[in-house]
Amino acid sequence: MLAVIIVILIIWASMWAFYKFMYPRAPKSMMPKEGDVTTPRQCNFCGNSLAEYRGVLETNPTLAVNNDSNVAADKELFFCNYEHQADFHAGKVYNPNV
Q: Which is nearer to Zn ion, 35 or 96 (CB)?
A: 96
Q: How many residues bind Zn ion (CB under 5 A)?
A: 6
- CA-wise closest residue to 84 among 37, 51, 42: 42
Q: Where are the beta strands (DSSP E) in the chain?
A: 40-42, 49-51, 56-58, 77-79
Q: Among all residues, whose Cβ is closest to Zn ion?
A: 43
Task: Give the separation between CA 2 and CA 8, rounded to whole angstroms.
Answer: 10
Give residues 26-85 in contact with Zn ion (rule: CB under 5 A).
Answer: 43, 45-46, 48, 80, 84
Which residue ranges make up the site for Zn ion (CB under 5 A)?
43, 45-46, 48, 80, 84
